[in-house]
Amino acid sequence: MKIPKRIEPLVEEGLVDEVVRQLMSGKEATVYVVRSGERLLCAKVYKDAEQRSFRNSTAYQEGRKVKNSRDGRARGKGTRFGRRMQQEAWQSAEVDALYRLAAAGVRVPQPQLCFEGVLLMELVTDAAGNAAPRLNDVELTEAMALEHHAALLGQIVLMLCAGVIHGDLSEYNILLGADGPVIIDLPQAVDAAGNSSAAPMFERDVDNLKAYFGRFAPQLLASEYGKEIWALYQAGRLTPGSPLSGCVAAEQRAADPRAVLRELALARKEAREHAAEKLAEQA
């Protein structure tokens, strides 16, 4: 197929020999199957900030490091330079998360390199050697649902032990490879220790999996793995081998109204940012 313009620099540098086909196109990027020497890889071409639909909100950026104060200020503005800084931060967040998680033993696509806004990484395949399907495209039995759910809980625990929260985990960004579930799409990855919204984001990730796999294995719907895992993490007792029951002790302390108000303020702020982005797109 014709080489996409964004991949041309990789071809010129000898990093890619051929673009085989487009694999998928999503809200954040378009992914291609490419050949590099004897290997087939994925080339993830990130879309420009103006084309992305995912909310690059303050909630996800909190706790991320920036090069300098000027870059940090620019990311909060709607200027061309500010949008470019947001774009670079979004890409580097995924690349950093992939390397960090791969080193921790989490099953993610093995990253190769990021060059000119294109991320080269492992092509995840199924048992037949074809590109692995996304979880939502696979018919599951109850037994399969329980098996994959347990495997993913193990991966999520590994991620949290490495200090990373996916932030947008669902059946749409999990592949079923030959060796089991593979977690993908991490540009919104959150630092567990440096983000004040880490707990609700983590529990939402786990609850998304509960809701999906609960369609096939209803017994999962009553589980509380998110709260259980987070409680172990906060207590400093979470390890990759921590036994999990899916149960938590009933909360005895009174609700914290200040925490509720913080969550409401955060939701309002995200809504304002989203509205501003929409207006900028229409301008």
**Whole-number Å distance between alpha carbons of 22 and 264:** 41
Give the tens place of pLDDT for each residue, 21-63: 999 998 789 999 999 999 999 999 988 755 555 445 555 556 5
**Element (H or E) spanning 9, and its range?**
helix 8-12
- Which amino acid makes up residue 76? G
- Residue 242 pLDDT: 96
Whether the per-residue pLDDT at 11 is higher than 70: the answer is yes
Any bridge partners for residue 177, and if so which? 180
Q: Is 274 helix (H, G, I), strand (E, B) or coil?
A: helix
Q: How confident is the model at residue 74 (pLDDT cuts 50, 70, 90)?
A: very low
**Whole-number Å distance between alpha carbons of 97 and 173:** 15
Q: How confident is the model at residue 98 (pLDDT cuts 50, 70, 90)?
A: very high
The answer to whether the CB of 61 falls within 8 A of the CB of 73 is no
Over residues 82-92, mean pLDDT: 58
Looking at per-residue pLDDT, the higher value among 78 and 149 belongs to 149
The answer to whether the CB of 16 falls within 8 A of the CB of 34 is yes
- Print the SS3 string covering 44-61: EEECCCCCCCCCCCHHHH
- Residue 50 pLDDT: 55
Give the tens place of pLDDT for each residue, 197-234: 999 999 999 999 999 999 999 999 999 999 999 999 99
Looking at per-residue pLDDT, the higher value among 170 and 251 belongs to 170
**Whole-number Å distance between alpha carbons of 46 and 28:** 6
Closest listed residue to residue 198, CA positions, set 92, 75, 60: 60
Closest listed residue to residue 150, CA positions, set 260, 244, 281: 244
Q: Which of 60-74, 183-197, 216-230 has the lowest mean pLDDT?
A: 60-74
Q: How confident is the model at residue 194 (pLDDT cuts 50, 70, 90)?
A: confident
**Whole-number Å distance between alpha carbons of 7 and 1:** 12
Give the tens place of pLDDT for each residue, 110-148: 999 999 889 999 999 999 999 999 999 999 999 999 999
The pTM of this model reads 0.78
Residue 201: C-alpha distances to residues 133, 168, 208, 271, 274 (Å) = 25, 8, 11, 17, 18
Taken in order of first residue, the domains within the chain and their CATH numbers are: 5-282 (1.10.510)
- Residue 73 pLDDT: 46
The residue to which tokens 């395949």 are assigned: 125
> Please, where are the H alpha helices in 138-252?
142-161, 198-213, 225-234
**Whole-number Å distance between alpha carbons of 195 and 212:** 26
- Residue 66 pLDDT: 47
- Residue 265 pLDDT: 76
β-pair type (180-183, 174-177): antiparallel
Give the tens place of pLDDT for each residue, 238-282: 999 999 999 987 655 566 777 777 777 777 877 777 677 666 656
- Residue 75 pLDDT: 46
